[in-house]
Structures are given as structure tokens and as C-alpha cells.
Structure 1
Amino acid sequence: MPRAGFPLTSSRRNRRQTAVKGGLGSVSAIETRWRERTDTDVATTQHTPALDSSESTTRYDTLALMNRDWDVLCRDLKAADRVATWAEEHPDLAGAASPQDVVDKISVYYRRGDLDGHDRVMHLLVERAGGTGFDAHLAWRVAVRVLLPKTVLMAKTQQRSYGLPWDDVCATVLGAAFEVVRTYPLDRRPRRIFNNLALDTLQLTRRTLAACLDDIEDVQEFAAGVAPLASAECHTRYAHVVSGEDPDTPHGTVELADLLMRAAQMELVGVDEPALSRHEARAEVLDLLLWAVEIGALKELEAQRIARYYLSTSQRPEQRHMTTRSMGHEGDLLRQHASRAVRTLRTKSPLAQYRAAA
């Protein structure tokens, strides 16, 4: 396990990336599906034609959504009224009439080297951000906007360190910034607020990304552990249909329909779930979960939690899968339940017996 707050070494990252090679489709499907989910968990619910760090594929762009929302906020008349009130109450913000004006004022203080003025405005924002209501929400967003250039630089360095998708890292850094602004201890650290917020954001980002890589390793270990089980003789009911190399046949179509029906009966999917097709990750995961329940490695409830997390689909046409971000607090609980169920599957005694015999 990596120590929180410190990047992993490249050798460890390589070990994580190569932990699972080959194996059966049922196993690789869960790992692939997990990667698909983490590619969008921290992304936005709007797809934008931006490129990821490899500049070769489109991605969900957290920065694009944040910029769009910021533009909307700057046109909000209620926000303008609140900023005008701040400007009347605090001479350091004299003349400010929009959220962007506040950001610009802070930038001017920084360029002039007026650290006291810079601290006074940051103190105002952070103090208000810790409250409730629209005023607190506005101050919170403005304070994070002030940190945005620094967070983008952090995201670039951390993306190189951890080797995770750019948007995942970017959203993690921004999420950390929102967290530290809201919880910053003004009474204990009233000076150099901007620098302290940046440092706290970096530390929280590193802890979060390290934990994310631990989750990836958990799934890889799970996949490696159940590979011998998936090849056991008792796991042959649908394997030849789901991941076999034979051409499609009417018989295979019927068996895939039977697989889907049994999954629906166990409430792994809804009754209106689209038809399955061969070599589809959805079919491979359902096949593995049904088999795990049959041999007693999982309870039905545990299988349902895994299926709901890995296979849940989005109601938005531009977004293929639901994400824990779009699910809100429910998504966080779902991820915890799914992780717990996966650990249960990895550590059940039948798995250990098959692993030893393989």
C-alpha cells in the first residue's frame, strides 16, 4: 500500500498496469468495465469534443464544464448583487460588480506584491465559504476559481506522476480544491491563505490518487484470483457462447437470451435490459456473477451490488454509463458496497480452493 500523500514509483505503476495479462473474458470484462467507469466517475455529465492527454480520443472534460458554469455564474444577476454588496462592505473589493471582478482584484494584488491585500480578500472569501446559503456558495466558487491556474498545473504534474487519465486527475484536483476551501482553518492559519490552500489541495490530491490506484490494484488482484475459477469445469454453461470463437448461431442467440433472463430473475439487470451479444463486457460480467452465486462465492445481494455498480447505464444519450459522480451520495455508497462485494468474492473459501488447485 502506498503511503498517503506520496506519488508511487514508476516501478509500482508498471506492476499495477501489468498485474493482469491474458485470462478469460469474464475476468477481463470486470477490469475493463472498472476502467471505463473510472474514466468517467470524476468527469462531467456533458461530453465535449476535447482531447485527452494523448490528444487522440475525445473525453469528458471537467475543465470545460467548470468554465461553462463559471460563465453562467458571471451572468447571474443575483451573483452580481452579492458581489456589489461585498464591494460596499469591503474597500479591498471596491468597484467589483461580478464574480470575475473579484478574481481580477485578487490577481492585481498578487501582481503588485500586495500580500496583505491578497490575504484580506482571500480571508473574506474563505470565511464566507464556510457558511450556508447563496452567499457562501458564491464565495466558495470564487475562491476555487482563484485557485484554478494553480490546480491545472498540479493536475499536469500529478498526471505524469500517477499515469492516470488526464480528466480523472484534473477532476480530483478540483474536487480537492473545493474541499480544502470549505474546511480551511482560518483561525489557525490566517496568513498566506492562497499558498496554504494550494499546499492542502496538493496533499489531498495525492492521498486521493494513491487511494484510487489502490482500488485499481484491488480489481486487478480480484481478476487474477478468479481466473482459475472461471476456467473450472463447472463454469461452462455460457462461457462458450459469451467468449467462444465459433461463429454466431441461433442456438447461441437463445443461450444469450437465457443468460439475460436469468440475470433479470436474480435482479442483476432490469427487465428491459437490451439483448446481449457475444464478446460484450456486459455479458461476460453477468456470466461470471451468475456462476459466482451458483457456487456460493457470492450472495445474490452482493452480486446485485457489483452488477449495479459496473453495469448501470445512464439516462443521458451522450453518456454511456452512470457514474458515481452523477449518482451523488448514492454513488459513493454504491461504490463502497461493490468494492466490499468484490473483496468477498476474492476471499471466499471456494475461490482459495480452486486457486490452489489451478
Structure 2
Amino acid sequence: MHPTSAGTESGPHDSTDMRMHRAWRQMCEDPRAEVVVGSWAAESELFSDCTGTGDVLELLNALYRAGNWTGHDALLAALLERVPRGGYDGEVAWLVTVRALLPKAARMARSQMRPSIDFEEAFSVVVGALFEVVRTYPLERCPRSIYAGLVLRTLTLARQTLGHLLNDAPLPPDEVAEIVDRRPVGHELGPEERFERLSLLMDATELQLLGKDDHEHIHSGTARAELLHLVVWAVRTGVLQPHEAQLLAGYYVDSDHRDGRTPRSIGSGGDRVRKARSRAVSRLRAADHDAYWLVA
């Protein structure tokens, strides 16, 4: 049982966001939480300027905004060390960590929406996955890149859960591991960009959209990445069928990697391919682009 389901008042129609907000507010107002944070400050200099849970969250957010990933990871590690303690001490550390990653969870939920799964259901699944990942995070085995590890594990678990709801086949663990281990050529990525890249590669691999060089060359901000983001979203929202997305992803590639094929060069089937691609492009143009930019 996680902190949003114990000791908080809730109604039958409360959204996940409302329950999280209520649980956080109640913890911030609980004098016991101040005592817990005070004990952390006595144990570690990392919490020396913190007198309550709000201070811990603000410190995490400040480190994130500054791009101080070393300090951010150190504070996350200190919180994750305290989660297994159990009792109210562990509960406070658990909820503070989840609350810090809630904006990322909301973005992940938007990216996982389907025609049959609205934001609330996707967000509920992602938040549930986040609570589980924070509770079970293997800190001793994975002491570095903690932020990236938390969000990637959360996304993987959420995708597995949503895949079962949709009767989809999620990526096997060995394929996920292979994607994680590959690095883009010539680019050192920060944790946020690394997660965005891995998330895109996981989606594109599942939908069979990747070219032979995409694992090595794709990274955030490139035209190729933007195209893949767009066609993944289009499949998730029912704008395109998977085979149409594959057609577009295989045609619109960087000029350095295009294989030179044209409708004329691939024979009598070329005209059918061109028309199918044209229909897919037309549907993309007619789609709700405001909805896409909410996810992107």
C-alpha cells in the first residue's frame, strides 16, 4: 500500500492527480513529517537546509533545474536508501521521491495514450508503476544515473501493464536492455535527453520503424527523431495504421541514409506505394496537431 491509499480522504471520483495532491498536502502539514526530515538533517549534510518535505522537494527541483545531476542523484540516492526502512520514515522518503518525478510521469502518461485509454487511465498506470519502481529500485546495483534509471524503469513497467490491457506484446526484456546499452555516435547525453532518446527508440522498435543506422545516430532535436515522434503518436492515437507509419518512417529519412529507391525504381508496385504514402500524409495533415504538441 503506497502513501496515497493510506491515511488520506478520497472520494469515488477522485482523479489520480487529486489523490496525489491530497496525499502530498497532508504529508506537508503533518508534524511527524517535519520530525522525520529533521532526523534526516541530523544524519546527512544533504538535508541540512531542510526542515520539511517541501524543502526536500524544492532542493530536488533546484538541482534538476540547474542540471546538477551529480547532486540530484546524490539526493535521490539518500531518499531511496530510506524508503526500505519502512514506517513513516520510509513512507515520507517514498512519497517525496514520487512527488519529485510526478511531472515526468504526466508526460509519460500523455505519450502512452491510446484511443481506448484516456489520460487518467494512463496516468494512473504510470503513477502506480512509479511507486513500485521507487519502492524496489536496486540502488546498490545501480548507484549512478538514478534519475534516468527511475524514469526508464517506470516507463518500461507502465508499458508492460498497458500492453496487457491492450493485448499488445511489449518489448522483451533483452530487447529493452539492448536499446539501453546502445549509445548515439558522438553525443554525450544528460539524463533527461537520454531518457527521451531511449523512450523514442523503445516505441519505434516496437512499431518496427527504425532504419539500420537509427540506434547509433538518432538523438533529440534531429529531423529524424521528430518524424519518429510524430508517426509513433499517430499510431497510438489511431491516425495511422502501423504499416502506414512504417511506410513513412522508411521513406522520410535523412538524405545521407536514404537508400535511393523511388516509386519508379521499385517497379510496378511503386505507384501503389506512392499513393498509400500520400494517403497517410493526408491523414497526418488532417490530424489534431494541438493534441500532438501536448504530448511532444
Structure 1-normalised TM-score? Answer: 0.43
**Which residue in 1 is equivalent to 2:141?**
188
**Which residue in 2 is equivalent to 1:121?**
75
1:188-337 to 2 correspondences below 5 Å? 188-214=141-167
SS at 2:142 equivalent: coil
Which one of the candidate residues 115, 119, 124 is aligned to 1:171? 124
Hey, what's the Cα distance between the residues in 1 that align with 2:69 and 2:37?
22
**Which residue in 2 is equivalent to 1:327?**
none
CA RMSD of aligned residues (A): 1.8
What is the deviation of 1:214?
2.8
Q: Which has the higher contact order (CA 8 A, sep 6+)?
A: 1
Give unmatched runs, 5+ long, in structure 1. 1-43, 49-59, 216-358
Structure with bigger gyration radius: 1
User: For the Cα contact (< 8 Å) 1:46–1:65, is it kept in 2?
Assistant: no
Q: Which amino acid aligns with 1:107?
A: N
Hey, what's the Cα distance between the residues in 1 that align with 2:141 and 2:116?
35
The aligned length equals 160
Q: Does 1:46 align with 2:14?
A: no
Q: Which amino acid aligns with 2:143?
A: P
Q: Which amino acid aligns with 1:68?
A: R
What is the deviation of 1:111?
2.0
1:61-210 to 2 correspondences below 5 Å? 61-159=15-113, 161=114, 163-210=116-163
Q: Which amino acid aligns with 1:135?
A: D
SS at 1:187 equivalent: coil
Hey, what's the Cα distance between the residues in 1 that align with 2:64 and 2:20?
23
Hey, what's the Cα distance between the residues in 2 that align with 1:119 and 1:45?
33
Hey, what's the Cα distance between the residues in 2 that align with 1:142 and 1:166?
23
Alignment deviations for residues 155-188 of structure 1 (CA, whole Å, 9 cap, x no partner):
11111x4640321111100000000011111111
What is the deviation of 1:150?
0.3
Q: Which runs of 4+ in 1 moved over 6 A?
A: none
Identity rate, percent: 39
User: For the Cα contact (< 8 Å) 1:172–1:205, is it kept in 2?
Assistant: yes
**Which residue in 2 is equivalent to 1:299?**
none
Q: Which amino acid aligns with 2:66?
A: R
Q: Which amino acid aligns with 1:126?
A: L
SS at 2:24 equivalent: helix
User: Which of 93-102 and 136-145 deviates more?
Assistant: 93-102
Give unmatched runs, 5+ long, in structure 2. 1-8, 169-296
